[in-house]
A and B are shown apart, each in its own frame.
Chain A
């Protein structure tokens, strides 16, 4: 994973709450065996509506999505962050994210930025009034600079470290090989799917 720290991007607003991963990418696009081309299927059913935000000329090149509460609920499909990144998004702003989506996003370098409800309402309003707003993200300092204000956001220390340094989580677990072996030595397997 490439390290990320600061980036500037244009934000667009999609002020709908509980956006589920079936909307982000419908299941009929999950028959692939790789990660390519999913950006084209992002919100594909909603993009059938000419008025949908991502169909607008001003939305092209957007890197931040300002969404409604509880973004990414539903299925565990990691195709959701892959599709958002395939379109060009680097971050999503919401009041909270579904647990599995959030974990998937962080592992792919898509930043889930959590803000309070009043801040989200303010950013959404400004974005809708101007079609887009310019956002500057500073992960090291956990800040978003937007429309003249600075907004702090939380992120767990480990995810932040991994994103800042491009640390691969699998490599981190593999480095615990001795502890895993010790655990297995003390805890016989509870099932055997191969034999039995």
Chain B
């Protein structure tokens, strides 16, 4: 029978099949751990006298509550928040006690968990990957079944390398056509979420297909899969192809020699079979897409950058009208107003959505020789120490600094605003991150989600612009 990519990966990882009474038990190939969602799971292990079953399939890093402020003269990144320091120290202790490798703060391969997994070649096609973080969907770009889990499940995987899972449904998100200049992978995913809504993918694993997806680089594919969760989906998937194999080859932790050839041969069997069926299909045309931007307080509230903010009075459904009214009130925006020209206080370039080297290159190209607008603060936060080194080798840091932007250490930073990098109440930001929820980037802060191109163009102008006009 014809199978989808999802079904092939699922079937290859069933330890015990589901029956009428119980969900399936699924084997997990790679478990990524960070400081925020793991402490209570390690406490549970200690209380029950358990060990970590497969430390060799577990990898920890610190990213969420870590400072991104520049290193001191001693080369050390200073942690001044005592509560954060306690949490970071707890992760160090937990990894030491349970034998888990840790990419400690400031070490050469530390960074955002969803940036370093692929970068180091841990993330490979056909794998099951989990992490106590909803943006684990990022790794689906490689054709791995990757999804976020809660802390109880972190404990389950630490102890057993397995998870109990109800089988999700599948949806094909098909995007054919060719992206126009100035339109990016970020715009594709914002357009998809605007179409299906933040709950539209609930219960589904999305597989992105079509010629526009095949034409994307791996980093662009990661941007797409990263935000699958913002459409409510359990995971996002893109079938592995030559682009995938070329990107992975010779990464530190990918197979080498004959093992590489065998792995690639297996990976070639993974794409969905001709005739495989999905429970749902959504179709978009890349030729019709424009740069996207959000106006509201969830990632589904997005419009083409040249569009106008919708009006609550145009909505028939009570709860939708109330939600839009509440969002516009929080954002301080008027119904039907354009977003072009909207003044912005902060531009944030970073996060597991858009902090890889290609994102920094794209933004630097626009900022080269230009200045960030007077009074505007721009933060550039590379996704990993490796991305940071690469950017510095290419001189991108000098472009950002010369433009007046802040060049930071690697981490989640203002995407989740746990580390002191945050908006002040009432401030507007254009952010390349993934969530514009109320207070997400700082209490009272107001977020417009957009691509690195739109972010850089906005930084130069001090207000929201259509990047296509300056390309």
Near A by CB (< 8 A), chain B positions 53-71 give 54-59, 64-65
Number of interface residues of A (CB under 8 A): 58
Given A99-B234, A169-B156, A191-B124; A15-B319 close (CB under 8 Å): yes
Given A17-B319, A78-B37; A104-B150 close (CB under 8 Å): yes
The answer to whether the Cβ of B160 comes within 8 Å of any Cβ in the partner chain is yes
Set of chain B residues within 8 Å of A161, measured between Cβ atoms: 21
The answer to whether the Cβ of B348 comes within 8 Å of any Cβ in the partner chain is no
Set of chain A residues within 8 Å of B229, measured between Cβ atoms: 74
Closest to B326 in A: A16
Set of chain B residues within 8 Å of A191, measured between Cβ atoms: 29-30, 56-57, 122, 124, 127, 253
Set of chain B residues within 8 Å of A74, measured between Cβ atoms: 134, 229, 435, 437
User: Is the CB–CB distance between A194 and B37 below 8 Å?
Assistant: no
Least CB distance, B51 to chain A, in whole angstroms: 12
Closest to B168 in A: A99
Near A by CB (< 8 A), chain B positions 226-266 give 229, 232, 234, 252-253
The answer to whether the Cβ of A196 comes within 8 Å of any Cβ in the partner chain is yes
Given A22-B439, A76-B134, A191-B124; A173-B160 close (CB under 8 Å): yes
Set of chain B residues within 8 Å of A173, measured between Cβ atoms: 25, 156, 159-160, 162-164
The answer to whether the Cβ of B471 comes within 8 Å of any Cβ in the partner chain is no
The answer to whether the Cβ of B298 comes within 8 Å of any Cβ in the partner chain is yes
Set of chain A residues within 8 Å of B156, measured between Cβ atoms: 169-170, 173
User: Is the CB–CB distance between A73 and B199 below 8 Å?
Assistant: yes
Least CB distance, B252 to chain A, in whole angstroms: 8
Set of chain A residues within 8 Å of B100, measured between Cβ atoms: 193
Given A45-B438, A99-B203; A170-B159 close (CB under 8 Å): yes
Set of chain A residues within 8 Å of B417, measured between Cβ atoms: 27-28
Stretch among A31-39, A84-92, A130-138, A146-154 lining the B interface: A31-39
User: Is the CB–CB distance between B202 and A70 below 8 Å?
Assistant: yes
Given A17-B320, A73-B199, A176-B15; A189-B232 close (CB under 8 Å): no
Set of chain B residues within 8 Å of A169, measured between Cβ atoms: 152, 156, 164
Name the residue in B65, B153, B443 with the highest tally of chain A Cβ atoms < 10 Å from its Cβ. Answer: B153
Least CB distance, B31 to chain A, in whole angstroms: 9
A73 to B197, CA, bound (A): 11
Near A by CB (< 8 A), chain B positions 80-114 give 81, 83-84, 86-87, 90, 99-101
Given A156-B23, A189-B29; A73-B198 close (CB under 8 Å): yes
The answer to whether the Cβ of B313 comes within 8 Å of any Cβ in the partner chain is no
The answer to whether the Cβ of B284 comes within 8 Å of any Cβ in the partner chain is no
Mask for A173-196, Cβ within 8 A of B = 1, else 0? 110100110011001011111111
A170 to B161, CA, bound (A): 11
Given A31-B84, A156-B166, A179-B25; A69-B199 close (CB under 8 Å): yes
Closest to B201 in A: A99
Which among A27, A73, A99 is the interface contact of B418 at CB below 8 angstroms?
Answer: A27
Set of chain B residues within 8 Å of A100, measured between Cβ atoms: 134, 148-150
Number of interface residues of B (CB under 8 A): 82
Set of chain A residues within 8 Å of B155, measured between Cβ atoms: 170
A contacts with B: majority SS: loop
The answer to whether the Cβ of A23 comes within 8 Å of any Cβ in the partner chain is yes
Least CB distance, B66 to chain A, in whole angstroms: 11
User: Is the CB–CB distance between B202 and A193 below 8 Å?
Assistant: no
A99 to B232, CA, bound (A): 8
Least CB distance, A87 to chain B, in whole angstroms: 18
A176 to B16, CA, bound (A): 8
User: Is the CB–CB distance between A78 and B54 below 8 Å?
Assistant: no
Given A173-B162, A194-B55; A76-B418 close (CB under 8 Å): no
The answer to whether the Cβ of A26 comes within 8 Å of any Cβ in the partner chain is yes
Least CB distance, A169 to chain B, in whole angstroms: 6
User: Is the CB–CB distance between A34 and B148 below 8 Å?
Assistant: no
Near B by CB (< 8 A), chain A positions 10-30 give 15-18, 20, 22-23, 26-28, 30
User: Is the CB–CB distance between B443 and A26 below 8 Å?
Assistant: yes
User: Is the CB–CB distance between A76 and B25 below 8 Å?
Assistant: no
The answer to whether the Cβ of B334 comes within 8 Å of any Cβ in the partner chain is no
Set of chain B residues within 8 Å of A34, measured between Cβ atoms: 39-40, 43
User: Is the CB–CB distance between A193 and B150 below 8 Å?
Assistant: no
User: Is the CB–CB distance between B23 and A78 below 8 Å?
Assistant: no
Name the residue in B23, B43, B151 with the highest tally of chain A Cβ atoms < 10 Å from its Cβ. Answer: B151
User: Is the CB–CB distance between A31 and B81 below 8 Å?
Assistant: yes
User: Is the CB–CB distance between B443 and A45 below 8 Å?
Assistant: yes
User: Is the CB–CB distance between B438 and A183 below 8 Å?
Assistant: no
Set of chain A residues within 8 Å of B160, measured between Cβ atoms: 170, 173-174, 176, 180
Least CB distance, A76 to chain B, in whole angstroms: 4
Given A173-B164, A180-B160; A194-B101 close (CB under 8 Å): yes
Which among B87, B199, B232, B252 is the interface contact of A33 at CB below 8 angstroms?
Answer: B87
Set of chain B residues within 8 Å of A194, measured between Cβ atoms: 55-56, 99, 101
> Would you give 29 A-B contacts (Cβ < 8 Å), ordered by A?
A18-B300, A22-B435, A23-B439, A26-B443, A30-B64, A33-B40, A33-B86, A45-B438, A68-B323, A75-B134, A77-B37, A78-B37, A99-B168, A107-B150, A169-B152, A169-B156, A170-B159, A170-B160, A173-B163, A173-B164, A176-B160, A179-B15, A180-B161, A183-B15, A191-B57, A193-B57, A193-B101, A194-B55, A195-B56
List of 3 A-B pairs having minimum Cβ-Cβ separation, nearest first = A70-B199, A104-B150, A33-B39
- B residues touching A (Cβ–Cβ < 8 Å)? 12, 15-16, 20-23, 25, 27, 29-30, 36-37, 39-40, 43-44, 54-59, 64-65, 81, 83-84, 86-87, 90, 99-101, 122, 124, 126-127, 132-134, 148-153, 155-156, 159-164, 166, 168, 198-199, 202-203, 229, 232, 234, 252-253, 298, 300, 319-320, 322-323, 326, 416-418, 435, 437-440, 443
- A residues touching B (Cβ–Cβ < 8 Å)? 15-18, 20, 22-23, 26-28, 30-35, 45, 68-70, 73-78, 96-100, 103-104, 107-108, 156-158, 161, 169-170, 172-174, 176, 179-180, 183-184, 187, 189-196
